[in-house]
Amino acid sequence: MSVYTLQTLAEQLNAQLHGDGAVEISAVATLEDAQSGQISFLSNAKYRKFLQQTKASAMLIRAEDLEFCPVAALVVKDPYIAFAKVSQLLDTTPAAAKGIHPTAIVDSSAQVDPTAELGPYVVVSKDAVIAAGVQIGAGSFIGEGASIGAGCKVWPQVTIYHRVRVGERCIIHSGVVLGADGFGFANERGQWLKIPQVGTVVIGNDCEIGANTTIDRGAIGDTLIGNNVILDNQIQIAHNVQIGDHSCIAGCTVVAGSTKIGRYCVIGGAVAINGHIEICDGVQITGMTMITKAITEKGIYSSGMPAATNLEWRKNSVRYRQLDQIYQRLRDVEQELAQLRGATDD
């Protein structure tokens, strides 16, 4: 377990220290649950009411909240960002693997750096390359000619198909499948003919891919995931999709084939994005939205319907089915009004 003094944390965060710098911090916690030896944060003024009762040893706060803080404090510009950085310093997550387990199977042609670690029953196939400091958890499969960059952590039961390339410092969670065949078929008189998917998947640096997410290999070209892209659990990325640097996608979203998503996009959960379209940089899409055409202007886009009482929903459903009738009646009324105005003018 790592322990840092407040003085050390202040130096790491470039923060202003208020209180005893010798106080030791070993963990992070929420404002309401924090105990001695822990540090919490206040980034939203509406939670200020809990500050007086906190049992934390120290707080990460803004300057305007300092007068309300009864314990030692580190004053920072953004307490939530500071909290994330302290959380990394105090992280207690175990390694995905330690050493080379005797049950790991490594092909003689594979290149595995001496500092890499492979858990039980890991398979590293022909011509695969595992760089320095990589951890690969139990039961994971690394396909022929695949490569994993330095400092990556691959959790148990991950499947990385042939020729997939993963950048440096990526985290890949359990159940992820990288490089399975895209959904490519041709129909000949009712008979489906498989189109071999001969591209691959290329993952940039500093990415995180959530549990049970799947990223299909390209049909001819490659499926491309940029640097510092974060993908939540249970996301489907189809063949030849491109996702720009620093974009974020929440759980259960589906991105159809050959779609291009720009840089710094934020996409909510359970979104469905049509294939062969382009979404420009800086777009935000709220949960449950269906995107059927290109988005060329930065902004926030929504189409999901929020929940209502069942009675209200049933009434609105009936009215929705009547929209065409209402439209026809309104058009008839407008035509009659136009005729009456013409007669009056005459």
Is residue 346's pLDDT more than 80?
no
- DSSP-based three-state secondary structure for 128: coil
Please report the pLDDT score of residue 343 as a whole number: 75
Residues 135-180: tens digit of each pLDDT: 999 999 999 999 999 999 999 999 999 999 999 999 999 999 999 9
Residues forming beta bridges with residue 243, ordered by sequence position: 225, 261
Is residue 125's pLDDT more than 70?
yes
Is residue 117's pLDDT more than 70?
yes
Residues 35-58: tens digit of each pLDDT: 999 999 999 888 898 898 999 999
Please report the pLDDT score of residue 341 as a whole number: 85
∠ Cα 151 85 23 (to 5°): 125
Residues annotated catalytic, as ranges: 239
pLDDT, mean over the chain? 96
Please report the pLDDT score of residue 299 as a whole number: 97
Comparing CA positions, the residue from 111, 229, 120, 105 lying closest to residue 172 is: 229
pLDDT band at 85 (very low <50, low <70, confident <90, very high): very high
Query: Exposure pattern of 280-305 as b/e (b: 16+ CB <10 Å)?
Result: beebbbbbbbebeeebeeeeebeeee
Comparing CA positions, the residue from 122, 227, 133, 230 lying closest to residue 172 is: 230
Residues 272-320: tens digit of each pLDDT: 999 999 999 999 999 999 999 999 999 999 998 889 999 999 999 999 8
Do the Cβ atoms of 149 and 130 come closer than 8 Å?
A: no
Please report the pLDDT score of residue 254 as a whole number: 98
pLDDT band at 83 (very low <50, low <70, confident <90, very high): very high
Is residue 60's pLDDT more than 90?
yes
Please report the pLDDT score of residue 292 as a whole number: 97
Please report the pLDDT score of residue 268 as a whole number: 98
20-31 mean pLDDT: 96
Please report the pLDDT score of residue 258 as a whole number: 98
What's the helix, strand, coil split of the chain in %, to 5?
A: 20, 25, 55
Residues 175-208: tens digit of each pLDDT: 999 999 999 999 999 999 999 999 999 999 999 9
Angle 323-345/310-321 helices, nearest 10 degrees? 50
Please report the pLDDT score of residue 177 as a whole number: 98
